[in-house]
Amino acid sequence: MKSITINGSQRESVGKKATKALRNAGQVPCVIYGGDKPLHFSAPELAFSKLVYTANAHTVVIALDNGVEYNAIMQDIQFHPVTDKIIHIDFYQIFDDKEITMEIPVHTVGSSKGVMNGGNLRMPYRKLRVKAIPSKLPDFIEIDITPLKIGNKLYITELENEDYKFMHPDNTVVCQVRRSRLAVMTDDDDDEEEDGADDTAQE
């Protein structure tokens, strides 16, 4: 997974006055959890733009002015209710040998046969939660939708691999092609529906 470096300064004063002064100076107060104790630091708001205003997932290298670096992931973020400016960010420190859970964006490739015949592609999840050690976290989860015909569903169990584990129930539908009024059935689709009907009748 790609990483973004944030250059910041460790905070000694963490009271309300000090925090307000930081925000007035264009700085964002932050906390890193997951280590021996919480670590407070601040960084310019612009430094977080590539981390916050993107659909991509990233790990973070927090480089402090005392020369110490921390590997982390963004855990929580708060925005001002009126100005929408970032007012606080929580990070969670990560370690090479410890698994973490992250939401990873889903990317589709290919052209679904069902969609080309007029069906609608439905994707309930734009991101999926996965668990892995940091080096095994993917930048995105790629799904080839080419084989999907009208009525087909892709379950999360079909995406399983050895690098990471999905934190969703086995019956989770990642995407499906649903029939629309303008859908055109192909011979293959007809055969599938007839097979399904025969199976039902035999039961």
Nearest to 100 by CA among 80, 77, 83, 75: 75
Same domain as 9, residue 88? yes
pLDDT in tens, 28-37: 999 999 999 9
Same domain as 157, residue 130? yes
Same domain as 171, residue 111? yes
Residues 102/129, Cβ–Cβ less than 8 Å: yes
On average, the pLDDT of the chain sits at 89
So what's the pLDDT on residue 180? 78
Same domain as 70, residue 135? no
pLDDT in tens, 137-177: 999 999 999 999 999 999 999 999 999 999 999 999 999 99
Q: Is 60 exceeded by the pLDDT of residue 135?
A: yes
Same domain as 132, residue 169? yes
Question: Domain range for residue 168?
Answer: 100-202
Q: Which of 39, 64, 93 is the last residue of a domain?
A: 93
Same domain as 83, residue 108? no
Kindly indicate the confidence band of residue 185, based on its pLDDT and cuts at 50, 70 and 90. low
Q: Which of 63, 93, 123 is the last residue of a domain?
A: 93
Mean pLDDT to the nearest integer, 51-66: 93
| CA atoms of 62 and 41, how far apart (whole Å) | 9
Residues 7/43, Cβ–Cβ less than 8 Å: yes
Q: Is 80 exceeded by the pLDDT of residue 119?
A: yes
Q: Could you give the angle at the alpha carbon of 178 between the alpha carbons of 175 and 183, nearest 5°? A: 140
CATH label of the domain that carries residue 180: 2.170.120.20
Global model pTM greater than 0.85: no
